[in-house]
Structure 1
Amino acid sequence: MKKLSVKLGMLFFFIIFGLITFMFFFLHNGITQSRVEEELNSLQSRGNSHRDILEKHFDLDTIDHVVLMESEAETDVVITNQDGQVLNSSAPAGVFAKYLQASPASFPRDGQIIEGDWDEEPYISTVSPIEKDGKLVGLVYMFQDTASVHSLMDRLNKHFIISGWISIIFTIIIIIFLSKGITKPLLNMKEATSQISKGNYSVSLPNTHEDELGDLAKSIETLARDLHYLTKQRNEFLASISHELRTPLTYIKGYADILRKQSLPKEDMENYLAIIVDEANRLTQLVKELFELAKLDQNQFAIAKEPVDLHPFFEKIEQRFLPILQESNIEFTVSCPSNLCVMADPLRLEQILFNLLDNAKKYSPNGGTIILKAWRQKNNIHILVEDHGKGIPEQDLPFIFNRFYRVDKARTRSLGGSGLGLAIVKELVHAHGADITVSSKVNAGTSFEIIF
């Protein structure tokens, strides 16, 4: 009973069996009552026909003729006078004594049924009054043996039993196919989820109809793909962290060992110490960025939005960034109309723009140009950071916001960076409820556009 198909099958069976039983009982009852009423009406009509003849000729010859007719039929007749005395009968009158009424005056003109219990009594019977000139002169009692009715009911019951068994067999067959049809996709999905739990994400479920089961199958396949992607990302993330941590630690340890074990000229010592400080700073920045991402993932940071006037905000960024760019002979162009406000966290917005501008600086050649621009378009505020540097290959564009993703897998350490900057930018932009897009062309430059 643990299998779903068995449970569904039993549930369907009991429901359908109950409905069939109720319908069969109702139908059997209706047919039985209808057949008995037909027999009683036929018996009543036969009695009324004899009554009509006897009203025209109420004499012994006519009575004998009526009795003779019934003696050859399956029914019996008893004819009495107005006092209830038997004038003639097609069978011994004593058999019908208990059905002969003592109060004949109470019968209606069309007659009535005096015994209709076919199940318990040996006879069903009716009575029809004989009248002449408005006065009751006799009664015609009609009788029919209930054995014939029982025989009819037995045949009816037999047909119902056969029909019932056929219905049950077909019901069981239909339920088996129905329950298997419902549970087979579920069993496939169960097996698929079991494979996913074991780390096998290459699951494929058979095509189903466009229904809830089909939607569930598609959801499981989507979940498998997402888990595969996340697992791959996690492994790459851990490998990247290991690499990023190991590299500065190797530099720090190596140069520290040189300084500790060898007597070096002061100039070399200062160079090695500078390298150790640079790598320690790089390591500190990496840990800071990882901590930042952890807080972003767990929503443990606050975005304190407030109206930010972008014109003075951009002027502040220009003042801080311009000296750094001038060292590389890079032109910095800032464009923003007055009174252009955006709802944002100023510290987080500054972090976003600093990361994008730092990236633009890294990949811009000497004498290049970086543009920071803002404008309103309909109900949106657009912020653009554009450079004219080496650009990003088209096949890398969908992945540049992934953590530790590098376009140049073998880039020199002079470019710095950990591959986390754009991942942080994307998370911060989405935390503001904004969107970020990127367009780039190799050797022509890259544009990042933020839309609030």
Structure 2
Amino acid sequence: MYETLEEEINSHADYVLHEPTLKNFVQPREWEEVEHTDIALNPVFISIYDKNFNLVESSPNLVQNKLDWNNDEPERKPFYTEYNSIRLLISQSKLIHHGEVVGYLVIGVSTKHNQLALDYLKTALTLIFPISVLLTFLFARFIAAKSIEPIFNVIKTAQAITENNLSERIQLPKNKDELHQLSTTINSLLDRLEIQIVKAKQFSADASHELRTPLAIIKGTLEILIRRERTPEQYNKKIDYTLKQVNRLDRLVEQFLLLSRVENNSLNLQTSLFEIKNEVVQSIDRFDVLLNEKQIRVSTRNLHPQKIDNYHEFFEIIIDNLLSNAIKYSKLNGEIIISSRSENNLYHLTFEDNGIGMSEEDLKFVQERFFRVKNDSPLHTSGSGLGLAIATQLAKMSNIKMTIKSQQHQGTKIILTLIIE
């Protein structure tokens, strides 16, 4: 603002200095301009001196006064002073003609209007600033509310999801930003959670059903025994039948506990070096009675000795469950073939039976808990549907690949692929 005043002073000074002599320094028409006659409207004050500092002429707005030359101030460099309580910006210059100083020029410009403008601006800012801050705050709050509204929607939806409406999902925002990624991640988490809860409910229902059957048989058998007196042979027969159901209950509970420990990773076992062929032979010996009952032959073809460093207890359970399944679903006088094949650093152990087999549809679910093959074969099986599920879980934990191939009414082949050093 004051730079504008300096420019105005310099322009007047240049105009006056353009005249060659003191007589013609200022034209009469110049003094008639409002800025030189009126002190109230942006006045410009001019005083002209000769070389002896005698006043030659002053602008009409100075009346009988004058602007004094100040020897302490530099030439053509504006400075401030007071004139009749008016703050002026002064510039003084020497008047030179043909290289000689012929006089002196003093020009002053009032800063009153500039100061009024500054005061007005200060007042305006004093009023506008808090209003601007308030409006900015309200606008920022509105924008922030709009920005976090999707987050509140995510929170609201997540809080509304309970066990009774697990299928509910968070609506994905249109923009694929961080919030979209967060919503997708939460939905994926809910998908996994829903699967686990559904599985837990299904497990509870299936486990209850499995336990209810032998308990009902035991209860019914005991109720029959107490109705009337029976011969010792009849008592022995019923007691023996009841003990079989108790043993079945015991096996079910063991399988439930094992499956729970496997899925919760609570089995803290160490690997050890053992012989695969020996484990297979020992498993066959453990099922000797059952094999004789169904008159099933077990053939070990090309069963090569091979040591492996793995979870010994897991491998034993896997072999027992696979052999148990093969016996359970084999026909009378059937055959189970156990063979092996080495390939680079892989060892393939195969269990093959000529039993009832399964359809392609059943193959999709056969490794799930409590699944039983739907088959029109008259062969009676009393499995719980847990053996293969447990074997599958243990195989995964042991880094053993399990491949199942089967054809209905022709048999099933299960191949275990182990990594050997």
Measured against the shorter chain, the TM-score band is 0.7 to 0.9
Distance in 1 between residues matched to 2:95 and 2:339, nearest whole Å: 117
Using the TM superposition, give the Cα deviation of residue 267 of structure 1 relative to its aligned residue in structure 2, in angstroms.
2.5
Paired with 2:164 and 2:66, the residues of 1 have a C-alpha distance of: 89
- 330-339 vs 364-373, which moves further: 330-339
Q: How does 1:38-437 map to 2 (within 5 A)?
A: 38-51=4-17, 53-54=18-19, 56-57=20-21, 59-63=22-26, 68=31, 75-81=44-50, 86-90=55-59, 91-92=61-62, 97=67, 100-103=69-72, 106-107=74-75, 111-115=76-80, 122-132=87-97, 136-149=101-114, 176=142, 179-180=145-146, 182-197=147-162, 199-208=164-173, 209-321=175-287, 324-325=290-291, 327-334=293-300, 338=304, 340-377=306-343, 379-408=345-374, 414-437=380-403
- Could you say if the C-alpha distance between residues 329 and 81 of structure 1 is closer, same or farther in structure 2, counting changes exceeding 3 Å? farther
Per-residue deviation at 1:233? Answer: 2.4
Shift of 1:114: 1.4
| CA shift in 2, pair 1:307/1:38, >3 Å | farther
Aligned residue number for residue 21 of structure 1: none
Cα gap change, 1:443 to 1:156, in 2 (>3 Å): farther
Aligned partners of 1:412 and 1:86: how far apart in 2? 139
Decide which moves more: 389-398 or 355-364. 389-398
Correspondence for 2:39: none
For residues 80 and 376 of structure 1, the distance between their equivalents in structure 2, rounded to whole angstroms, comes to 121
Q: CA deviation at 1:426?
A: 2.6
Moved more, 204-213 or 321-330: 321-330
Q: Give 5+ residue unaligned stretches, structure 1.
A: 1-34
The 8 Å contact of residues 351 and 415 in structure 2, kept in 1 or not, is answered as yes
How many angstroms apart in 1 are the aligned matches of 2:336 and 2:66?
A: 122
* Contact map agreement 2:314 2:398 (CA 8 A) in 1: no
Amino acid at match of 2:48: I
8 Å Cα contact 1:374/1:383 also seen in 2: yes
SS in 2 for 1:61: coil
1:86 and 1:93 in contact (8 A); partners too:
no
- The 1:413/1:371 distance shift into structure 2, 3 A limit, reads closer
How far apart, in 1, do the equivalents of 2:344 and 2:134 lie?
69
Identical-pair percentage: 24
Residue 278 of structure 1 and its aligned partner are, at CA, apart by 0.5
Do 2:354 and 2:412's aligned partners in 1 also have CA atoms closer than 8 Å? yes
Q: Distance in 1 between matches of 2:149 and 2:297?
A: 67
CA distance in structure 1 between the aligned counterparts of 2:372 and 2:119, rounded to whole angstroms? 89
**Aligned mates of 1:232, 1:431 — CA distance in 2:** 23
Q: Which moved more, 1:284-293 or 1:137-146?
A: 137-146
Specify the SS of the correspondent of 1:404: coil
The number of aligned residues is 407
Which has the greater radius of gyration?
Answer: 2
Post-superposition shift, 1:428?
A: 1.6
Contact 2:336–2:352 (Cα < 8 Å) also in 1: yes
Task: Note closer, same or farther for the CA distance 1:210–1:373 as it changes in structure 2 (3 Å cut).
Answer: farther
Any unmatched runs of 5+ in structure 2? 37-41
Kindly indicate whether the alpha-carbon contact (under 8 Å) linking 2:318 and 2:391 is maintained by their aligned counterparts in 1: yes
Cα pair distance change 1:176/1:411, threshold 3 Å: farther
* Whole-angstrom distance in 2 between the partners of 1:274 and 1:447: 35
Question: Is the CA contact (8 Å cut-off) linking 2:89 and 2:109 kept in structure 1?
Answer: yes
Aligned-pair CA distance for 1:303: 2.4
Return the alpha-carbon distance in structure 1 between the equivalents of residues 297 and 312 of structure 2.
25
The structure-2 alpha-carbon separation of the partners of 1:337 and 1:404, relative to structure 1 and needing over 3 Å to count, comes to: closer
* Shift in Å, 1:415: 1.7
Question: Deviations 1:372-428 (Å, cap 9, x if unpaired)?
Answer: 344455555444333333233333434333332333499999522222222322332
